Amino acid sequence: MNTLTRPLVALSTATLLLAGCSGDNGSTTEVELSFAHSYATDHPHHRCGAQLVADRINELDLGMTIDIFPNSQLGADTDRFNSVSSGDIDLDIQGSSALGASYPPIGVLDTAYAFDGPDHLFEFFASEAATQLKEDFQEATSARVLSAWYFGMRHFTANRPIRTPDDLSGLRMRFPDSPTYLANAEALGASATAVAFEEVFLSLQQGVIDGQENPIPTIDSLNLPEVQSHVSLSGHQAGSQLIVVSEDTWNDLTTEQQEALADVVAEVQVEDRACIEQAEQELVDQWKETGEITVVEDVDRASFAQRAEAYFTSTLTGESLALYQAIRASAP
């Protein structure tokens, strides 16, 4: 156990309170769950997501409470998910591409233009193909996916408009350093440069990179309008975040506790999405009004999407290709 996970044992359901009596899954009835994520407390995933889950579970009087650990307090994504798999963290919010390090096919959910938008994303997650994906993920990782939350559409920023794949030529674009995102860069015609998330602003300011891609609320939180002149609404990825729970934790809960947790996490999906979409719209409206960054709306998304689909259908194989094809086949 590494230094990040040592203190987590006390947080997990391995330390169920001894005062409770046995539940129908062999659990004691008093359970305190840790819920970790990487977002600041003003991010929609915290205030409209994790916090709502905790508040509602804590009010149900089921002998189960949730404590939230935001802002990567319990480690970076990879470290946290390892702790979920081992049972040292109970619940976590993780991106599909990060989870792809443990089960590669799930990273396909983050491929460029796989989903046409959030409606398509959630319709797919209600499908049999998504159920099978979650079962396969659970078998491979000792963790299960409870629900998917919307992260926002990802867009390009640079010091010039990006309307077509050709406009990416000659630009050093920052993409997250993961196989899925680096594949997205190639699929879209971009030259990817790996820069840590925390260093994006400074790298743009110093000219180490020319542009980057992120959802609107993240572009704002990083203060990128101060160092970028244009945001091009490419919408090249309908970002999702998956709520995962340790299989050890799940098995320690009573059936009633399992059902309540799954139901609440699924219900909060709607409010979490509304928070994200409200933030997206308010920021775009603000930028249009103030001109602090030029909003480019006439992006040729069809040309980007066609390029991406041709790339992924020719490079993905096996389970990953089958999942990608199932996603595209489910498009409205």
* Cα 17 from Cα 327, distance rounded (Å): 43
Q: Whole-prediction pTM value?
A: 0.86
pLDDT at 303: 98
Beta-carbon contacts of 92 under 8 Å, excluding residues fewer than 6 positions away, are: 35, 36, 37, 80, 81, 84, 243, 244
Residue 286: inside a domain, yes or no?
no
Are 95 and 199 contained in the same domain?
no
Q: What phi and psi values does residue 236 have, to the nearest 5 degrees?
A: -80, -5
What CATH number is given to the structural domain containing 317? 3.40.190.170
Residue 222: inside a domain, yes or no?
yes
Are 133 and 53 contained in the same domain?
yes
Residue 245: inside a domain, yes or no?
yes
Are 183 and 215 contained in the same domain?
yes
Are 259 and 139 contained in the same domain?
yes
pLDDT tens digits for the chain (332 residues)? 343 443 444 444 444 443 344 445 544 458 999 999 988 898 889 999 999 999 999 999 999 999 999 999 998 888 899 999 999 999 999 999 999 999 999 999 999 999 999 999 999 999 999 999 999 999 999 999 999 999 999 999 999 999 999 999 999 999 998 899 999 999 999 999 988 888 999 999 999 999 999 999 889 988 999 999 999 999 999 999 999 999 999 999 999 999 999 999 999 999 999 999 999 999 999 999 999 999 999 999 999 999 999 999 999 999 999 999 999 999 98
* Cα 110 from Cα 119, distance rounded (Å): 15
DSSP-H helix ranges across 24-147: 44-45, 51-59, 77-86, 96-99, 118-125, 128-141
pLDDT at 198: 80
Tally of domains in the chain: 2
Are 58 and 170 contained in the same domain?
no
Are 115 and 207 contained in the same domain?
no
Residue 1: inside a domain, yes or no?
no
> Which residue, among 256, 187, 212, has the nearest Cα to 27 in the 3D structure?
256
β partners of residue 147: 243
pLDDT at 20: 43
> Which residue, among 192, 198, 229, 226, has the nearest Cα to 212 in the 3D structure?
192
Q: Note down the domain range covering 19.
A: 6-152+239-280
Pairing assessment for the beta strands 31-36 and 91-95 based on DSSP bridges: parallel
Residue 231: inside a domain, yes or no?
yes
Residue 303: inside a domain, yes or no?
yes
> Which residue, among 114, 145, 140, 98, has the nearest Cα to 321 in the 3D structure?
114
Pairing assessment for the beta strands 91-95 and 230-246 based on DSSP bridges: antiparallel
For the chain, percent helix, then strand, then coil, each to nearest 5? 50, 20, 30
Are 166 and 47 contained in the same domain?
no
pLDDT at 18: 36
